[in-house]
Structure 1
């Protein structure tokens, strides 16, 4: 984790998107994405980030609101041996973060393609 904090201090991590409780940063040199959420810092490679996003998207919020089920969702990420115990607000925050972050990444990719295709 100290490498992540040093990268943040040295401005090596670029902010992709942030909400009021979470942010996603990327490091172009190491191709690592850093999620800061609820005072936790987790690093992901691209495939791991997409896998985590898909797990969050599959969470059924209507079922979490039901009286007969728990209002906590447990998400396990094997790459970092970490369990996430997420309540409804956490799930909503992560869904918002991923929607915005992946939109920004797609937009960045489209801009990059146009710049490469048409040299200035």
Structure 2
């Protein structure tokens, strides 16, 4: 993974196909997938996940035209271009879904801890 040496990076979620890491220093997420690393601002990461989730896998599999063999995705505010086949899209969906789940879980845990701390102080 190629990341700024000064960055403070923590793993959010990882599979054998890729991973998502959070940089608290730059307030961004790093996606490692297909042997490349792409940086996303928080909102851009969520938009990218939404775009990947909208890909119609069933249509890609059922249509015999060559244009349905792959999907080209250019994330907002990124120089990266993803050219993905169905198998890679499914792998990426798994990585992004796991990362989003862990981000939401972490947020819920922090809220519970905050509420617990407020209750103890009251």
Both proteins in one fold, TM over 0.5: yes
CA distance in structure 2 between the partners assigned to 1:78 and 1:116 by the alignment: 34
State the match for 1:78 in structure 2: 76
Q: What is residue 46 of structure 1 aligned with on the other side? A: 42
Moved over 3 A (4+): none
Q: 1:37 aligns with which of 29, 33, 40?
A: 33
Structure 1 unpaired stretches of 5+: none
SS for the counterpart of 1:6 is coil
Is 1:28 matched up with 2:24?
Answer: yes
Deviation of 1:84 (Å): 0.8
What number of residue pairs does the alignment pair up? 116
TM-score (norm 1): 0.88
Map 1:52-91 → 2, pairs under 5 A: 52-69=48-65, 70-91=68-89
Alpha carbons of 1:107 and 1:78: their partners in 2 closer, same or farther (altered >3 Å)?
closer
Structure number with greater Rg is 2
1:21-52 Cα shifts (integer Å, max 9, x gaps): 11000012221100000111000001110111
Whether the 8 Å CA contact 2:70–2:83 is kept in 1: the answer is yes
Whole-Å Cα distance in 1 between the matches of residues 105 and 39 of structure 2?
22
Alignment correspondent of 2:10 = 14
- Give the root-mean-square deviation of aligned CA atoms: 1.8
Shift of 1:5: 5.0
- Structure 2 gaps, min length 5: none
Question: Partner of 2:116 in structure 1?
Answer: 118
